[in-house]
Amino acid sequence: MAFTLPDLPYANDALEPHIDARTMEIHHDKHHAAYVSKANDALAGSPLDGKDVETVVKNLGQLPADKQTAVRNNAGGHWNHSLFWQVMGPGAGGNPSGDLGAAIDSAFGSFDAFKEKFAAAAATRFGSGWAWLCVHPGGKVDVCSTANQDNPLMKDSIGDAAGCGGHPILGLDVWEHAYYLNYQNRRPDYIGAFWNVVNWAKVAELYAAAK
Ligand code: MN
């Protein structure tokens, strides 16, 4: 079964003023759609054809060498954006509570200290990439970043390029296509605005499932 583009779980303008409708429209309908289509092209007839996207990104090494880069970039892009849409929402923001809040406090000292570390990971990623909050077995969380459409789940195939190698439960896209229309070169302003749209209830659900 080929990958399909998931619908945004809210309207294009639902995250305004923090993320504008036109950016969301192009980002989802053009960029994410292209990752899906190119991933399907690259996977066709390969040993991972028909597998779910998480299995694909965890097992890039099972692909022929001439397919690995295209699948890494495009199935990675599909996984990453599918998470990104889910962990944002209208009327969101605030603080994580429950087990996730406790895990963040335990790992970073406080929610504010976590936000600083995550924002620094996003701001200092040179060029295009992502910042992540990841879970490790046992429930410990940490922050890392990866380049391009790489993802911590790719650890077995791409080594250190996969950052911390945990399971991402929050991701922030810092490619220019994610913010340039509204924020131009001001990536830190976009990162600051992101906190207003993080859907912590969803992130907590992903934490419970991943730990
Ligand atoms: Mn993107």
- List pLDDT tens digits, range 101-138: 999 999 999 999 999 999 999 999 999 999 999 999 99
C-alpha neighbours within 13 Å on the C-beta side of residue 105: 8
**φ and ψ at residue 172, rounded to 5 degrees:** -125, 120
Q: Is the pLDDT of residue 1 over 80?
A: no
Whose tokens are 């295209």? That residue is 70
Distance of CA 172 from the midpoint of ligand 1 (Å): 9
Tell me, in angstroms, the distance from the centre of ligand 1 to residue 205's CA. 23
Burial of residue 172 (number of CB atoms within 10 Å: 0-12, 13-18, 19+): buried
Whether residue 39 is predicted with pLDDT greater than 80 in this model: the reply is: yes
For the chain, the average pLDDT equals 97
How remote is the CA of residue 103 from the centroid of ligand 1, in Å? 28
Distance 106 CA to ligand 1 centre (A): 30
Express each pLDDT in 22-38 by its tens digit: 999 999 999 999 999 99
- Radius of gyration of the chain, Cα coordinates, nearest whole angstrom: 16
pTM: 0.97
CA distances from 69 to 23, 33, 127 (A): 27, 18, 18
Give the pLDDT score at 145.
98
Note the pLDDT of residue 211: 86
In whole angstroms, give the CA distance from residue 76 to residue 62: 15
Residues around the ion ligand 1 (C-beta < 5 A): 173, 175, 178
**Å from CA of 81 to ligand 1 middle:** 6
Rounded to whole angstroms, the Cα distance separating 133 from 183 reads 23
Ligand 1 centroid, distance to 138 Cα (angstroms): 30
Give tens-digit pLDDT for 150-185: 999 999 999 999 999 999 999 999 999 999 999 999
Cα(109) to ligand 1 centroid in Å equals 30
Mean pLDDT of 10-16: 98
Cα 184 to averaged position of ligand 1 atoms, centre (Å): 15
**Cα 35 to averaged position of ligand 1 atoms, centre (Å):** 9
Cβ-contact 165, 152 below 8 angstroms: yes
- CA 129 – ligand 1 centroid, Å: 9
Determine the pLDDT at residue 37: 98
| Confidence (pLDDT) at 207 | 98
Give the three-class secondary structure for 168. strand
CA–CA gap between residue 77 and residue 81 (Å, rounded): 6
Give distance in angstroms: CA of 209 to centre of ligand 1.
24
Q: From the CA of 139, how far away is ligand 1's center (Å)?
A: 27
Using the predicted structure, report yes or no on whether residue 46 has a pLDDT greater than 90.
Answer: yes
User: How many other CB atoms sit within 10 Å of the CB of residue 64?
Assistant: 10
The predicted pLDDT at position 36 comes to 98
